[in-house]
Structure 1
Amino acid sequence: MKRFIASVLFVFITFSCFSQKLNSYKYVVIPYEFSFLKKHNKYRVNTLVRYLFKNEGFEVLYDSEDFPEELSSNRCLGLYADINSDSNIFTTKLAFVLRDCSNKIVLETPFGRSKVKAYEKAYSQALREAFETIKAENYTYQPKKKEVEIPPPPPPVQVVEEMPDSVEVKVTEEKKPIQKTVEQTKTTTTVTETKKVVLYAQPIENGYQLVDTSPKVIMILLKTGVPNVYLVKGQDATVYKENGQWILSKATANGNAKSTLEIKF
């Protein structure tokens, strides 16, 4: 009696474990052509297998068709079904094998048997008997929960103060300022007394032109905005009035050369 109860518990626990494993798979992929038949849907085997899995709630696909996007990106959402055949001339024996995306066996059923001579009926009877193992698990799709891995806390940071082996002392010598002798160039101003030539100022735009008695234009004076101070056009020189006299101040290599002018306005 104890052995019987133990056997029942073992079978129940085994089926429960398989059922929990199957519930995490959404799809079943079956071969378009089973190897033991070597032809698609021979004896209507493909149609029957597709019907059996679909009737249990699986989404069934052939391995030759385009997969849905979620299965294409995650092949582990599917179980990959195949059929083992151990038939002989007297008995048809077939079993289901379900593998995961790593080709590991998730579930392998016992062989279903049939002694019917007609192949289509024999295959149907043997497959339905083998499928009872899968049917008994009451499959319901339950997506796996994503496990979030919590990283361990980082180790505490130890602060180690390092003392220097030696202290380097830099001695900076005070440098005496270098005295530079700057030679100043004295600017000399030379005043030249010239023979007075009377120049006549004729108004022009922005100034005057000075002409002699010829009349010849001697120079052109440009207004500066300062009363009685003019620039000489085309020369580095100025004409200004000082102490009642008109002075021509001209820059030369040796300084400023000054001369007096007699101008009639």
Structure 2
Amino acid sequence: MKKIALVALLGLAQWVTAQTDTKTLVVENTLADLKTYNKYNLNEYTKSFLEKEGFVVFDEKDVPSELANNRCNAYYVNYEDDSTLFTTALKMTIKDCTGKLIYESEFGKTREKDYRVAYREVFRNVAKNFQQNKNRIVFTDTELIVSKPAPVKQTVVENVQPTANKTTNNALVFDFKNGALQGELKDANQKVLYKITKTSVDNLYMASNPYVDGIIYSKNNKWYFEFTKNGEKIIEEIK
């Protein structure tokens, strides 16, 4: 148990220390159209390669809780599959926490029949293309840099003050009673949309509705609810 705790703490320390100058990447559990983790060693190849390229890299299943609760502190790596009956073809993609595409490689292709060998060859092509274009990648401003948790202010937070003539979807109210950490997100008519909990990051909340848990965050003066359903990441604008 102590060994497990030490490994977790070392992983967290690596992530926190690197935030000021190194991008954090998360390799998603299932890649391309593969249904299982690390099939044909693709997760292992990807993580090892990106670490050698200077990134802090986590497997999705191993991210520390601080990163899991603040997804916009990282970028997410996967592959698109364009394979046919006779050809294996993959390209690497990197997206931000909203699903915006940051980078995509050219397709690596092979006609090798042995899948284990084919995926290794395709990955080498993808990796070579990444190295050629690495310095051209422009990371978006959705990244929220947090080197250590900031103290939570025990205050009522309201982004917009509704007025009598406001209608539904024209305003949002973040209602925390008596400075509590837990509160409610309401529309202009005081209808409760989500149960929310403050985090150490401004404009980022843990959230839930009667059907699913997720996070709420602000981007470009709009609010979004992000959650996972059936293994798929879904982002909904809150109106």
- The answer, yes or no, to whether TM exceeds 0.5 is no
| CA radius of gyration, larger in | 1
Q: TM-score, normalised by structure 2?
A: 0.45
Q: TM-score, normalised by structure 1?
A: 0.41
Which has the larger helix fraction? 2
